[in-house]
Amino acid sequence: MSRQMIMGNQAIALGALKAGVKLAAGYPGTPSSEIIEFIAKYKDRTGTYVEWSVNEKAAAEVAAGASYAGSRTLVTMKQVGLNVASDPVMCLSYVGVKGGMVIVSADDPGPISSQTEQDTRVFASYSKLPCFDPSTPLEAFEMIQEAFELSEKYHTPVLLRPTTRVDHAYESMEFPSLEKNSLTSEFEKDTNRWVIFPRSSYLNHKRIFDRNEHILPAEFSDSKWNFIEGNGKASTGVAAGGISWCYVKEAVSILKARYPESEELKNISFLKIGTPYPFPEKLAEKYLTENKRIVVFEELDPVIENALIHICGKTGMKAEVCGKADGTVPEAGELSVETVVSVLEKVFFNSEKKEESGAESVPELPVRPPVLCAGCPHRGSFYAVKQAMKGKKTAYCGDIGCYTLGNAKPLDMTDTCLCMGADITMAQGFYHNENDRHCFSFIGDSTFFASGITGVINGVYNQARQTVCVLDNSTTAMTGHQPHPGTGMTMMGKTVEKLSIKKILEAAGVNPVLEADPFNQEQAVAAVKQASEAEGVSAVIFKAPCIAVASKLGYKFNGPVKVQAEKCIGCQKCIRELGCPALSVSSSVLKNGKHRAEIDASLCTGCGLCRDVCPVKAIC
């Protein structure tokens, strides 16, 4: 073993491997993606089977099969992915598992890269699954091993809920020894156990209720992940869980340095919650008895806060619990050390004064809105549709991925974006409401496999009229270029037959299914016009690789293009219509008083889209 700096997601992967996980499946999504990739790195050493499934539901079901046979399994996703997986997960809660099964659902306070700020701890309560909430990478490493043990002890899936700052934080820890998993398992038929019947669900509900309301709250009260620290002689105690625990500890250290004579800070008492569901009530009752006022710090929903208020109501204790409900703590977004310092300073000293910490003030960073990369093929796809449908009554339904950025000016080609796969079915809703509006759906290749196919079938069967635009860049770009069924590569490193999106669309009854190169605007615009004239569901597959993987796929870049200063008239059409980050306005002034365009050669890939747009052929 050696001591290394290890990322939180790597720590989760190592913890699972250390626990003997035999199958790991997931769907990529920030902040969880690195877990599967790190497990794949050691698959030959441990013998673990690992896959990127087509979506989170499939991943949970693949893992359930292996778990029923007795193997330890891991499922990974981000928090919104848990919605996709909820159907099998809710049923697994009742049916149970045999081999330990841990579901990692990474929450995204902020949110930084998600549609919602939903809290997996609440889903744990809703689905009746035990939940661990790590504060650091090392805690995540140890917790997931205990989660496997708990899963097998109570025959239930267990949730591990890291948040972004835990997933992506680094901590020095011993790299564990990883050995070949030699355990074999075999599925044993047992209809009464593995087939979900109404009667068995009723009986299992009673068993789960007893476990979650009586057994686990007592067991978790003695867990090392939940504890009280301090003597409780201060006027106010502080409770926290997850990454907020680290913020609280650092914030109190800062305040102690700022107010060295404060007896309040010296005597402050802390409650740390590492298993938010089922809640460690016995421990919390002890804390509530010792502290008459408690401030709770936690990100997303007030889970710990509500649990403490519930205990007060149930037991008749008079402790005052402050947090999100009374506005003491911000109700949304990420917390930070600075936020906790500000809140505690007001609580203990009735002061919001921010004293100088000694550090130099740092200027605010400039606002930099997200934008499609220079040379991204999606820009050409959006532009082709925009040109083809100019002046027509349309609706442009977007989806989750890089192409969500098609909403930004100047492209402005995403009228809606709800969740994965919704672009196709929402377009059908628009059409059935307004038959004279031609509706377009923009979906990526990975998302098409994840949740787009069912929408296509629905549209064909229910006789909608729409054009599905598949922006096929040969990878799952936004989350880190993971493989999918259209790439011809598995996470086990095997080359397999690619699934043809064109054949799938044709098999579903889509007609016509056209293919176009988004960098060949003449061809792309013609394809869009032809598809839009069809009566039913039509499709255009815009096929060009993501610039980040193009070289690996054998594509060669042409090299950056240039603006010919003597030809440029300063119309800036290339800048105004494309929004490519490689294009900018020159400081030099032309004779007509306008500023010509210029191209940053370090960013330009030579895709040529601006060359095609230029009305005076000034770009070559």
End-to-end CA gap in the chain: 56
Q: Contact 10/36 with Cβ under 8 angstroms?
A: no
Cβ-based neighbours of 404, under 8 Å, separated by 6 or more: 398, 414, 417
Calpha distance 171→4 (Å, rounded)? 8
In sequence order, what are the beta bridge partners of 52? Answer: 26
Q: What phi and psi, each to the nearest 5 degrees, are found at residue 239? A: -115, 145
- Strand ranges in 72-205 using DSSP code E only, listed in sequence order: 73-78, 101-106, 131-132, 158-160, 170-174
Q: Contact 504/452 with Cβ under 8 angstroms?
A: no
User: What SS3 class is residue 159?
Assistant: strand
Pairing of strands 101-106, 73-78: parallel
Distances (CA, A) of 337 to 161, 249, 340, 343, 344: 21, 9, 5, 10, 11
HSE-up of 463 (CA within 13 Å, CB side)?
Answer: 1
- Own/partner contacts of 346-353, CB < 8 Å, gap of 24 or more, are 347/236, 347/295, 347/322, 348/234, 348/235, 348/236, 348/255, 348/259, 348/262, 348/264, 348/265, 349/259, 349/262
User: How many degrees, rounded to 5, is the angle at CA 470 between CA 465 and CA 471?
Assistant: 145
User: How many degrees, rounded to 5, is the angle at CA 150 between CA 146 and CA 151?
Assistant: 115
Q: 417: buried, middle or exposed (CB in 10 Å: 19+, 13-18, 0-12)?
A: buried
Calpha distance 158→602 (Å, rounded)? 48
Residue of 240, 226, 225, 221 whose CA lies nearest to 323: 240
Length of the chain measured in residues: 620
User: What SS3 class is residue 262?
Assistant: coil
Q: Contact 92/101 with Cβ under 8 angstroms?
A: yes
User: What SS3 class is residue 76?
Assistant: strand
Pairing of strands 158-160, 170-174: unpaired
User: How many degrees, rounded to 5, is the angle at CA 434 between CA 428 and CA 436?
Assistant: 105
Residue 607 annotated as lining a ligand binding site: yes
Residue 439 annotated as lining a ligand binding site: no
Calpha distance 346→348 (Å, rounded)? 6
Residue 580 annotated as lining a ligand binding site: yes
Residue 571 annotated as lining a ligand binding site: yes
Peptide bond before 31: cis, by omega within 30 degrees of 0? yes
User: What SS3 class is residue 346?
Assistant: helix
Residue 614 annotated as lining a ligand binding site: yes
In sequence order, what are the beta bridge partners of 102? Answer: 74, 158
In sequence order, what are the beta bridge partners of 228? Answer: 271
Q: Contact 163/5 with Cβ under 8 angstroms?
A: no
Residues making up the binding site for [4Fe-4S] cluster:
568, 571, 574, 580, 604, 607, 610, 614
Residues making up the binding site:
568, 571, 574, 580, 604, 607, 610, 614
